[in-house]
Structure 1
Amino acid sequence: MPEQHAPRPARHDGQAPGPDGPNAPSRRLLLRSAAAGGVAAAALAAGAPGAVAGPAAKRVTGAKVRDLTGPALTGRFAAPWTDLGIPARCPDGSMLFVCGDTFDGGGVGGPDWRSPVGLRSSNAVPGSLVVDGAVGGSRAVGLVPEGHTGGTTAIPSDVFTVGRTMYMHLMRGVIYRTHHTDFWRSDDSGRTWRYLCQWPAGLHGGQFQQKTYAVADDGYLYVLSTAFNREAVSGLLLHRVRQDSPGDPAAYEPWGYAGGAWGWSNPPTTITSPRRWGEICFRAIAGRYALTWLNMSPLDIRAQIFASPTSNLFTTAEQAMIVPTVPGRETGNAVASPYGGFIVPGSGLDDLHIAVSQWYDNRNYRVMQYRVNGLTY
């Protein structure tokens, strides 16, 4: 079982449990605006499998590869209902999917609420992923202590591997009312996790809550961050930290604009237009960098591909990989109530695999794998 190596401060943001179950958060309310936006956008998306904001480019297409979770697939691990599924290739060669709020029973809000949990594919080839194991064996265990007292939870924003070590970043508190974020380390391919550090929720105006890390070949990790609240407008901040120091908050160096120039160690400045952000994922791929995210208005999952962590994202084309639709009209890369969009390690820019979550009722809550083609870079 995982053990906690450092105490977490007492929470000050508890609230009454939501209507989805005796201890579950009221997540329908949180996603209501996103779902409404998806329905409204479906008409605009009809007949447009992918779009590029900016210069004319190749047509972006996509298709579902498979469901990764669901009662028939992950029910045997007491995890029939789960989401996010951030994929990370483990040092032992497997693929670990770190999932968010997870329930047993008949649907979302059922018994045995855990977050995060780890589901595993022993085959890490992007085209052959099948969940055939879980951290904890027949019952996927919570990877870190989280009692969900007062509706709190631990939502993963990123999981990644550096050499033989894995790292996991979590957002703690009642969902969208973050109390703090914390950072964990595993040296056994995600089986157990050791606490490293935490950051206050209000750091950098709250825009350092949701973090994602690109592992570069220059010895640095490049970190993009936003607020963790789909209803709040946030900038996108960039930091870097040496790959041997991600557990030291003082080692993070911001990128910002000051004195008429951009530079490291300036106060952090948003590197693209502020907006309402959903999940974000930042990765180094084949000598370039890819940022994927859930865009809230209009609701779709987008990508930007660029040469350097400090490239100008104000002018980099935003390419829609997943477009919204309504249940019963899903085809190609059109998905009802999509979110997530985490890049699968081992996939390439010409054939990008992503983990896409879906939730539109208490029995349609899952992680799926999609394949995207035609991205311009």
Structure 2
Amino acid sequence: MHGSTPFRPAARAGGPPGQEGPGHPDRRTLLRAAAGGGLALTGLAVAGAPGAGAAARATGGKVRDLTGPAETGRFAAPWTDLGIPARCPDGSMLLVCGDTFDGGGVGGPDWRSPVGLRSSGGDPASLTVDGSVGGGHAVGLVPEGHEGGTTAIPSDVFTVGPTMYMHLMRGVIHRTHHSDLWRSDDNGETWQYLCQWPGDQYGGQFQQKTYAVADDGHCYVLSTVFNRDVTSGLLLHRVRQDALGDPAAYEPWGYAGGAWAWGNPPTTVTAARRWGEICFRAMGGGYALSWLNMAPLDLRAQFFPLPTSNLFTTPERTTIVPTVPGRESGNAVAAPYGGFIVPGSTVEDLHLAVSQWYDARNYRVMQYRITGLTA
């Protein structure tokens, strides 16, 4: 691995929504326990029953498990989440995962984050993990010692020409110290540090970032607070693709003096809410945004023609709804989160990397195919 980072910390709001609160250990407690060599997961609640939908509910179902003992155990990564998919310059797919453990379940030995799992097939129809960065043992992609329960959680991975980029949120969970950006010129095998942003920039609303690679020479960047319990706006920036590693080159979009314009102080581009993971992509001549919605709990998507489209009025489509273990069918998932768009998706045929965690052995990344979004 090339490069280094000035700080070791990282952050993560992982785990199933609805499991934190009185009587149930939160993610910070779990990770600190793992750092100490043990993890008590007894008594965890299960995500709640389906809540009210958004504008329209899609149809669809599970395609396959992408991770788990049978799928990724041979890479010492039986327990992992997120799996943000990015098509590599060589045409394969890299799934960048978050907190990863070996052994008998979450909190087992060999805690790493992030790790890279590979699918030699780059099409959604052939998305199966058959390799990892590190060969037979998936390695941590960046230096992260997890001292004091810190971790390095990816919020996005994307490709511009021959170069891949990875954005990480770092610090103790829910207390993001900073976020940083890394690049790889060898299909994700090694990563070089580029830059970082303070965790309190824009009141924390620049912690979790996701990048849409446009055909106009820019990347468009949406960002939120990285804490599911905190209400946050959704901010929009643009940056030239040849200046991704220069924090000063990120130009905000905001409303001031009666008009929206680039260079105004950033203002939220949609209603403030409690956000989980977010994923912003150029797709089909327009743009797609997928996210974990916290109230009501579900995964949602919007499709719009321009990065600056009015998201206040753009319909929200429900892609995944929550259920309880044993009652999963169609697009109802127990303890869902994530919802990262698989490259090659279309509005009519949307593939998502959906995470799940409700006990020590039910912690995985799954592929879901969603249809009916244009109905």
Equivalent position of 1:123 in the other structure: 121
Equivalent position of 2:341 in the other structure: 343
**Which consecutive unaligned segments of at least 5 residues does structure 2 have?**
12-27
Q: Give the whole-Å Cα distance in 2 for the aligned partners of 1:306 and 1:297.
A: 23
CA displacement 1:272-293 (0-9 Å, x = unmatched): 0111100000000011100000
Q: Does 1:68 align with 2:66?
A: yes
Equivalent position of 1:246 in the other structure: 244
CA displacement 1:114-140 (0-9 Å, x = unmatched): 000000000111011110000000100
Equivalent position of 2:34 in the other structure: 21
Equivalent position of 1:109 in the other structure: 107
Q: Give the whole-Å Cα distance in 1 for the aligned partners of 2:354 and 2:263.
A: 35
CA displacement 1:304-348 (0-9 Å, x = unmatched): 111111011011111100001000000000000000000000111
Q: Give the whole-Å Cα distance in 1 for the aligned partners of 2:135 and 2:270.
A: 43
In the superposition, relative to structure 1, how do residues 333 and 20 fare at CA in structure 2: closer, same or farther (>3 Å)?
Answer: farther
| C-alpha contact 1:16 1:150 (8 A) present in aligned 2 | no
Q: Give the whole-Å Cα distance in 1 for the aligned partners of 2:37 and 2:197.
A: 25
Q: Give the whole-Å Cα distance in 2 for the aligned partners of 1:288 and 1:349.
A: 10
Shift of 1:376: 2.7
- Amino acid corresponding to residue 227 of structure 1 in structure 2: V
CA displacement 1:132-166 (0-9 Å, x = unmatched): 00000010000000000000000000000000000
In the superposition, relative to structure 1, how do residues 27 and 249 fare at CA in structure 2: closer, same or farther (>3 Å)?
Answer: farther
Matches within 5 A, 1:80-119: 80-119=78-117
Equivalent position of 2:158 in the other structure: 160
Q: Give the whole-Å Cα distance in 1 for the aligned partners of 2:286 and 2:373.
A: 13
| C-alpha contact 2:118 2:132 (8 A) present in aligned 1 | yes
Q: Give the whole-Å Cα distance in 2 for the aligned partners of 1:10 and 1:94.
A: 30
| C-alpha contact 1:77 1:134 (8 A) present in aligned 2 | yes
Shift of 1:374: 1.1
| C-alpha contact 2:58 2:373 (8 A) present in aligned 1 | yes
Matches within 5 A, 1:140-289: 140-289=138-287
- Amino acid corresponding to residue 321 of structure 2 in structure 1: V
Equivalent position of 2:316 in the other structure: 318
| C-alpha contact 1:305 1:376 (8 A) present in aligned 2 | no
- Amino acid corresponding to residue 204 of structure 1 in structure 2: Y
SS in 2 for 1:72: helix
Equivalent position of 1:8 in the other structure: 6
| C-alpha contact 2:9 2:144 (8 A) present in aligned 1 | no
SS in 1 for 2:170: strand
In the superposition, relative to structure 1, how do residues 26 and 290 fare at CA in structure 2: closer, same or farther (>3 Å)?
Answer: farther
% identical equivalent positions: 74
**Which consecutive unaligned segments of at least 5 residues does structure 1 have?**
46-50
CA displacement 1:65-92 (0-9 Å, x = unmatched): 0000000110000000000000000011
Shift of 1:172: 0.4
SS in 2 for 1:244: helix
CA displacement 1:253-281 (0-9 Å, x = unmatched): 00000001000000000000111100000
Any runs of at least 4 consecutive aligned residues in structure 1 with deviations exceeding 6 A, and if so which? 24-29
Shift of 1:17: 7.1
Q: Give the whole-Å Cα distance in 2 for the aligned partners of 1:12 and 1:102.
A: 14
Normalised TM-score (structure 1): 0.91
| C-alpha contact 2:9 2:151 (8 A) present in aligned 1 | no
- Amino acid corresponding to residue 274 of structure 1 in structure 2: A
Shift of 1:62: 1.3
| C-alpha contact 1:184 1:195 (8 A) present in aligned 2 | yes
| C-alpha contact 1:23 1:109 (8 A) present in aligned 2 | no
- Amino acid corresponding to residue 187 of structure 1 in structure 2: D
SS in 2 for 1:21: helix
Q: Give the whole-Å Cα distance in 1 for the aligned partners of 2:10 and 2:152.
A: 15
| C-alpha contact 2:10 2:178 (8 A) present in aligned 1 | no
Q: Give the whole-Å Cα distance in 1 for the aligned partners of 2:158 and 2:40.
A: 27
In the superposition, relative to structure 1, how do residues 172 and 348 fare at CA in structure 2: closer, same or farther (>3 Å)?
Answer: same
- Amino acid corresponding to residue 106 of structure 1 in structure 2: G
| C-alpha contact 1:17 1:150 (8 A) present in aligned 2 | no
Q: Give the whole-Å Cα distance in 1 for the aligned partners of 2:96 and 2:74.
A: 17
| C-alpha contact 1:292 1:303 (8 A) present in aligned 2 | yes
